[in-house]
Structure 1
Amino acid sequence: MHFNDYMRETFPNFTLRPPLFYRWKVGIRFELGVNYTIEDAYENSRYLQGVYRRAITLFKALHEKNDDLYIIVDADRYSRRQMLGCKLKVFSRYVKEKSVLYRLNHKTIPYIFPEDDEEGTYKTHRFILKCKTSDFKYISLLKAICNQNMGIRPSIFHRVYFININRKTILHVYDDRGCDIIAASPETIREVYNKYNDWLLDYDRAQIDRVFKNGYENPD
């Protein structure tokens, strides 16, 4: 199934852009970084180790080795040369077998944040790779995403979404602060909600609890 068809069927009337949690009725917002201070901005600090641990744990909870995934990378306002650099950096470094890159698709779409582009001059470059969980170095990739605001390399500043085709979930680690998980059905992620309940972002806890404790209305 084509990516666009999959999204229309699985997440109808949904636009893939952050914050995922506020754009879909079935979701969880997790806190990754806890008790940050300026002294924590160094490689493998205690703070970052905690961030990595939570991000990797949540990824593993959602993805089995042989699950089919779409890895989506959105890059904004970039020239063709910068766009190529994005492709090489984000995918080549983290895909285990280079042959997998032959499946990589790219398309230019309207800027994903139109409210910030009144003149309509920006574009979003969307890279789509269909693969298996086992095809890429997800631990290294997650760490690079978490590093983006810490002044630590390697780091990835583009938006990266992990879409599990089999389980119908989307994971977006936005930076060291936290991540969003959305699903077509609450039952798909109920175990994650229960097991890692202490990691829920308290600010959104009441909204999250309503989905899993007080019933659920189909997003349609």
Structure 2
Amino acid sequence: MELRDYLNTFFPGLCLQPSLFIQWDVGIHFELGEGIYQFKDGNRLNIDRFERVYYQALSLFNDLFSEEDDIYLVTNVYFYKRDRKKIKPTKVYDRFLKNKHLKLKLRQKASPFVFGEEDAEEYDTTQFYLKCKKQDLNYLLLIKAACNEDFPLKPKLGRKNGSYYPDVFFINISKNLIFFIYDDRGCEVIANKKEAIMPLYKEYNGWIPEYDREEIERNLQLT
């Protein structure tokens, strides 16, 4: 099943873009690195915070994805329309793919720009996607790169001057759930059925921000 057909079947009406939690009822928003500021002693990065963020994001990923699961690794690349002919699938599928032979199966499709009408005349979106397994990915480095979006830390996802930082989505097509890290501040998990994410809600309840808790519990039919 192709990505478009899969999403239409299991997540009808969903646009694969940031703010999945807002679009879909069955989901959880997690806050990362809570209580630890990004900087210390002026402008020095607080590495302790980022180690905490990496640990939290990796813990969630490992609980959501097993070695047996089939995965769609999806990357949204946002670029100037004038650069359409130069667009490449970022560093994601070069640096973070262990099984290089899978690059032959990489697919792409054009999508509408998702960050506001005022920029839609200048920018466009290309979506790259690849079906793979967890063991095909350098997922630890990829997760760190997603968390490092706003800071001078490595690893990083590729981008051109003036373009938006790429977004990476992990879709578990065996369990029908989607995991998205928007940056070091947090991540989102949505699912086709609440049973797929209830263990996550119980195990990592302390990472749920209080301002979203009531809505999450209502949507999961816990209240």
Instruction: Confirm or deny a common fold (TM above 0.5).
Output: yes
Question: Secondary structure of 1:117's partner?
Answer: helix
- The residue type paired with residue 139 of structure 2 is Y
CA distance in 2, matches of 1:200, 1:7: 26
Q: Does the aligned pair in 1 maintain the 2:38–2:46 contact within 8 Å?
A: no
Residue 127 (structure 1) aligned with residue 109 (structure 2): no
Partner of 1:197: 205
For 2:136, give the aligned amino acid.
D
More off after superposition, 157-166 vs 121-130: 121-130
Q: TM-score, normalised by structure 2?
A: 0.88
Alpha-carbon distance in 1 for matches of 2:53, 2:170: 18
Range that drifts further, 21-30 or 103-112: 103-112
**When the two structures are aligned, how many residues end up with a matched partner?**
212
Partner of 1:137: 138
**Match of residue 19 from structure 2:** 19
Contact persistence 2:37–2:46 (CA under 8 A): no
Encode CA deviations 1:43-101: one digit per residue, 9 max, x unaligned. Answer: 781111100000000000100012111111001124247622xx251111011121011
Match of 2:180 among 154, 172, 179: 172
1:218 counterpart residue number: none
CA distance in structure 1 between the partners assigned to 2:77 and 2:14 by the alignment: 19
Percent identity for Structure 1 against Structure 2: 39
User: Equivalences for 1:37-116 in 2 at 5 Å?
Assistant: 37-39=38-40, 45-78=47-80, 79-80=83-84, 83-84=87-88, 87-116=89-118
2:194 counterpart residue number: 186
Give the TM-score of the pair, scaled to structure 1.
0.89
Contact 1:43 1:152 in 2 (8 A): no
Q: Is the 8 A contact 1:73 1:128 kept in 2?
A: yes
Q: Structure 2 unaligned runs (5+)?
A: 158-164
Question: Which runs of 5 or more residues in structure 1 are unaligned?
Answer: 216-220
Paired amino acid for 1:83? I
Task: State the partner residue of 1:159.
Answer: 167
